[in-house]
């Protein structure tokens, strides 16, 4: 009887109502009192059973636990659901966990399933494997109650569901020249004192455990005691990551209406997000202090609803890597202004990068660039030890001139398509790129170390710009 709709009553209940109507009709036609009694019973039982379910249905408290609490796209998470009955009454129930549409397998359970005999707590477990990033609502848990006669039906939600944050999957990246010159922990040794002052000395008294190769014999002879050279300071490496979030630059569309947990994104922006989380993890694992900015020079995750601290822009250590991944989980394309569809980069971005003078590389991940955008980015190359750019677009010919502007300024810039493998693009940053010379148009090679701008002779007022719009 699967063809009979299950609303208010079970199939058996609908059959009883139909038979009651037939018995009532026959009782009137045949004048049989016994058929009238049967008709009244058949017609009264389903409504009474339904009313009893609604009056006597038990209350519940539902709690969920996700393991791990923070899930990466493409990995498996375990969900534990505790259902605690608070009042007696009602019969067995069928529980269904409501899941997002892209999670096909919908878990169903039978209630009760007590953890111990006579316990009011029932516990259920299942696994899910989210395939894309976002903040998804797991639940609500829906219960379908039946009466002892199996004629009535009550369906209701036991809770409102709980959010599950799914971060983009990071790609493990190998070492390239971006982190060149650093130790295995990302640190760089210098011969300057960490906190220079007039009291700084180049030697100190020998301490137990100092290597003998550091003994300074002339100072030892003068002082009459064993002296060693002062330790070289270790500077904390720093890096800046610029993540373009303009909708027009990535060919993004508006958020789909009436689709729960949907994000305003595009294939090119998804590539950029994967690159951002992978590069951030690569740098933070090597003890870099990372600053993340958006295309306007603001904190990079100010618009992300999954960010625990939207105004935060500096990240460090393992906790910083988790914070970046969590913030990227629900990051969307920025909606364009009403009168400005193709919003350019702002000078604030270049100023933030130049004024801070970060001791490390600058990495920009962008969509389509205009010449003006490229000039603003090129102005920040003097403030970095290296400058790298990924330009995600479907047609590299569209960004040929912006790429040339960046490369002439000293950037290692690369155009990538949404289907380009991130690992291959990462390795291609070290590949020399050919570009036309500004004056003659002949091709010349930009070496892998071209991200460090050459020193130019400058007058009292500083060097002249390499091309219009680029500040020295």
Q: Which residue has the higher pLDDT, 36 or 468?
A: 36
Q: Of how many residues is the chain composed?
A: 472
- What value does the mean pLDDT take over residues 324-342? 79
Residue 448 has pLDDT above 70, yes or no: no
Q: What percent of the chain has pLDDT over 70?
A: 79
pLDDT top residue among 125 and 453: 125
pLDDT at 359: 67
Confidence of residue 461 (pLDDT cuts 50, 70, 90): very low
pLDDT above 90: percentage of residues in the chain: 45
Instruction: Give the model's pLDDT for residue 134.
Output: 94
Has residue 266 got a pLDDT over 60? yes
More confident residue, 89 or 68: 68
Residue 7 phi, psi dihedral angles, 5° rounding: -130, 120
* Rounded distance between C-alpha atoms, residue 302 and residue 304, angstroms: 6
Q: Is 70 exposed, middle or buried (0-12, 13-18, 19+ CB in 10 A)?
A: middle
Report whether 159 contacts 125 (CB < 8 A).
Answer: no
- d(C-alpha 408, C-alpha 226), whole Å: 53
Q: What is the pLDDT of residue 236?
A: 74
| Mean pLDDT calculated for residue range 2-9 | 63
Residue 451 has pLDDT above 60, yes or no: no
273 within 8 A of 333, measured Cβ to Cβ: no
**Token pair listed for 406:** 């960046």
pLDDT at residue 444 is higher than 90: no
Selection from 335, 321, 261, 265 nearest residue 290 by Cα: 321
Q: What is the overall mean pLDDT for the chain?
A: 81
pLDDT for 389 equals 95
**In the structure, what pLDDT confidence band is assigned to residue 322 with cuts at 50, 70 and 90?**
very high
Q: What is the Cα–Cα distance from 211 to 209, expressed in whole angstroms? A: 6
Confidence of residue 460 (pLDDT cuts 50, 70, 90): very low
Confidence of residue 260 (pLDDT cuts 50, 70, 90): confident
Q: At 445, is the pLDDT very low, low, confident or very high (cuts 50, 70, 90)?
A: very low
**CA angle, 230 as apex, 227 and 231 as ends, to 5°?**
130
pLDDT tens digit string along 277-306? 999 999 999 989 999 999 999 999 999 999
What is the mean predicted confidence (pLDDT) over 220-232?
A: 80
Nearest to 229 by CA among 211, 250, 242, 247: 211
Q: What is the mean pLDDT of residues 28-34?
A: 86
The pLDDT of residue 449: 39
The tokens for 24 are: 């009532």
Dist. CA 411–CA 94, nearest whole Å: 61
pLDDT at 357: 61
Distance (Å, rounded) from C-alpha 288 to C-alpha 282?
9
CA atoms of 416 and 271, how far apart (whole Å): 9
Residue 164: burial class (beta carbons within 10 Å; 0-12, 13-18, 19+): buried
């Amino acid at each position: 009887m699967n063809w009979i709709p299950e609303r208010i009553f079970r199939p058996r209940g609908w059959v009883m109502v139909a038979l009651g109507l037939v018995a009532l009709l026959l009782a009137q036609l045949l004048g049989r009192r016994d058929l009238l009694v049967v008709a009244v019973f058949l017609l009264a039982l389903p409504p009474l059973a339904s009313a009893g379910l609604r009056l006597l249905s038990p209350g519940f408290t539902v709690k969920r636990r996700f393991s791990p609490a923070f899930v990466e796209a493409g990995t498996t998470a375990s969900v534990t659901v505790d259902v605690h009955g608070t009042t007696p009454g009602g019969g067995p129930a069928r529980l269904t966990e409501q899941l997002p549409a892209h999670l096909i397998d919908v878990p169903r359970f039978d209630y009760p399933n007590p953890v111990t005999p006579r316990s009011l707590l029932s516990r259920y477990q299942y696994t899910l494997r989210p395939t894309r990033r976002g903040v998804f609502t797991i639940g609500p848990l829906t219960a379908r109650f039946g009466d002892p006669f199996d004629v009535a039906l009550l369906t209701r939600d036991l809770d409102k569901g709980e959010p599950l944050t799914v971060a983009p999957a990071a790609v493990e990246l190998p070492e390239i020249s971006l982190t060149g010159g650093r130790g295995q922990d990302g640190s760089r040794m210098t011969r300057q004192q960490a906190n220079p002052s007039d009291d700084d000395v180049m030697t100190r008294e020998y301490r137990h455990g100092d290597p003998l190769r550091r003994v300074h014999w002339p100072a030892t002879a003068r002082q009459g005691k064993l002296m060693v050279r002062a330790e070289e300071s270790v500077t904390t490496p720093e890096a800046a990551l610029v993540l373009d979030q303009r909708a027009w630059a990535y060919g993004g569309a508006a958020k789909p209406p009436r689709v729960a947990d949907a994000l305003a994104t595009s294939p090119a922006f998804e590539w950029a997000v994967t690159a951002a989380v992978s590069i951030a993890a690569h740098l933070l694992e090597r003890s870099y202090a990372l600053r993340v900015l958006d295309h306007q020079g603001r904190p990079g995750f100010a618009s992300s609803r999954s960010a625990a601290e939207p105004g935060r822009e500096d990240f460090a250590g393992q906790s910083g890597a988790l914070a970046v991944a969590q913030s990227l989980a629900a990051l969307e394309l920025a909606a364009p202004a009403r009168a400005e569809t193709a919003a350019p980069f702002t000078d604030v971005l270049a100023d933030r990068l130049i004024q801070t003078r970060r001791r490390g590389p600058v990495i920009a991940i962008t969509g389509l660039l205009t010449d003006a955008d490229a000039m603003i980015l090129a102005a920040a190359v003097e403030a970095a030890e290296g400058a790298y750019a990924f330009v995600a677009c479907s047609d590299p010919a569209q960004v040929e001139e912006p790429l040339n502007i960046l490369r002439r300024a000293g950037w290692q810039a690369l155009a990538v398509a949404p289907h380009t493998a991130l690992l291959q693009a990462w390795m291609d940053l070290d590949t020399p790129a050919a570009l036309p010379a500004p004056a003659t148009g002949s091709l010349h090679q930009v070496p892998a170390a071209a991200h460090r701008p050459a020193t130019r002779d400058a007058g009292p007022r500083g060097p002249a710009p390499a091309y219009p719009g680029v500040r020295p």
